[in-house]
Structure 1
Amino acid sequence: MPRLVAVCAVHRLHPDAGSVGVTAIDKRPLEGAVRIGTLGVRADVQASRKHHGGPDKAVYAYAHEDAAFWEGELGRDLPSGWFGENLRVEGLDVNGARIGEVWRIGDTVEVEVTMPRTPCATFARWVGGRDARGWVKRFSDAGRLGAYLRVRRAGEVRAGDAIEVLSSPLDAPTVLEVYRS
């Protein structure tokens, strides 16, 4: 059964060379029950609302299995939140999820897959060091992008909660297909 590994929100803002001047990519796991509303995880922020946040990008999900792949590639630990994700999930093919797919997390929260994450220069700077060079292309080519989610039903979730796919439109493209089209 797929499950929620961690719920993450911004730990602190970091200076960034991008146009906004700061980034909120530094997400860390929260303890206990965490409220998720129509604009995302309570206590989370997005430094650039032009590219992040809003109802269709309220929550960003990333798979534990994809993080494990990158740990092997980069040779370092990549804890929950490192990819800027709000939800680290396990046992769910996030990149193979279909646009419009609906998941229930825990007892009440329902989210809908809306689009893939598009990696950017801010993400590359966050990766840092020698790995930053070519990171956007490398991350894209690997097809381990994660997905943005719309919140259809607000509520509370916590690490360990089960995730159930309630519906998946068979004629809709997957997250990865949308990204590569």
Structure 2
Amino acid sequence: MKLLSVNVGQAQAVPYTDQPQGLTGIDKRPVEGPVRVAAPGPKGVGASGLAGDAVCDTRHHGGDDQAVYAFAREDLDDWERELGRTLRNGSFGENLTTEGLDVSDALIGERWLIGGAVLLEVTSGRIPCRTFQGHLGEPGWVKRFTRKGATGAYLRVIEPGEIRAGDSIEIVHRPDHGITAALEFRATTTERTLLPRLLAAGTALHPEALAAARAYVEKYGEPQGV
């Protein structure tokens, strides 16, 4: 398992975002590195966990629990075949393009050691948005991406440091609850009856998903067998 590329984006004005200033940093491009990775601060205040990477809409993106976004090269290759077009590393707005790692099936709370120094923890899947659709230029993209459910994963920074393309990725902690980033995504989008299952991941879960799961159980109760 390794890091194929580290990708950062610059703020650009585009017509397809509802960010107040019309800016987005979704167009991530590979950089040589090394790139400093650190917790950026709370959502709404902090932006990206990667130095030099723009997050323009801090209402919905960035912050400590979405500090880094990872996507598997294997999933990009799958989309290349389906869409009939080339998708370079960073095409999906990911900071980390990985190889040999099933990112969407990473467990909430799973920890990755990158380059022997930087420690990251999986928090959630990625919910697609209008900006993502506009960036790719694929009609109906939000529904299509949602239907496939290969979401990649957001991560928080546990131990900061520097990373670069070619670094090894080692899974150093894997919880036993079975709650993956992909399952979290389904629970918070298309299959909300799965929400009670997310509680097994505890506080490792993205706080918004944890709050949604708790609210669901409070309103509807916990289904038998969960």
- TM-score bucket of the superposed structures, by smaller chain: over 0.9
RMSD: 1.1
**Matching of residue 169 in structure 1 with residue 175 in structure 2:** yes
| SS of equivalent residue, structure 2 residue 103 | coil
1:162 positional shift: 0.5
Instruction: Find out whether 1:159 has 2:165 as its counterpart.
Output: yes
Deviations 1:29-68 (A, max 9, x none): 1113111111211100111001110000000000000000
Cα deviation, residue 18, structure 1 = 2.7
TM norm structure 1: 0.94
Is residue 86 of structure 1 aligned with residue 86 of structure 2? no
AA partner of residue 67 (structure 1): L
Instruction: Provide the residue aligned with 1:35 in structure 2.
Output: 36
Quick one: percent identity of the two aligned structures? Answer: 49
1:90-142 CA distance string (max 9 Å, x none): 100111101000000002000000010000111111111xxx22111111111
Once the two structures are overlaid, the 10-residue window that deviates more, 134-143 or 15-24, is: 15-24
Amino acid at match of 1:30: V
Q: Give the Cα separation in 2 of the matches to 1:133 and 1:19.
A: 17
* Residue equivalent to 1:55: 64
Which is helix-richer, 1 or 2? 2
Offset from partner CA, 1:132-154 (integer Å, 9 cap, x none): 22111111111211110000000
CA contact (8 A) 1:6 1:80 kept: yes
Report the secondary structure of 2:145's partner residue. Answer: helix
- CA apart distance, 1:172: 4.4
Note the C-alpha offset of 1:12: 4.5
Distance 1:96 1:3 in 2: 16
**TM-score of the superposition, structure 2-length normalised?**
0.76
* Alignment check: 8 A CA contact 1:23 1:47 kept: yes
Q: Distance in 1 between matches of 2:71 and 2:151?
A: 7
In structure 1, the residue matched to 2:194 is none
Q: What's the CA shift for 1:16?
A: 3.0
Distance 1:9 1:84 in 2: 8
Gaps of at least 5 residues in structure 2 are: 41-48, 188-226
Structure 1, residues 144-176: CA drift from partner, whole Å, max 9, x if none? 111100000000111111100011111141011
Structure 1 partner of 2:82: 73
Gaps of 5+ in 1: none
Query: CA–CA distance in 2 between the matches of 1:77 and 1:61?
Result: 19
Distance 1:142 1:180 in 2: 10
Alignment length (residue pairs):
177
By percentage of residues, which structure has more strand? Answer: 1
Q: In structure 1, what residue type is equivalent to 2:30?
A: P
- Preserved contact between residue 11 and residue 54 of structure 2 (Cα < 8 Å): no
Residue 134 of structure 1, aligned match among 132, 136, 140: 140
Contact 1:9/1:41 (8 A) holds in 2: yes
Q: Secondary structure at the match of 1:95?
A: helix
Aligned residue number for residue 4 of structure 1: 3
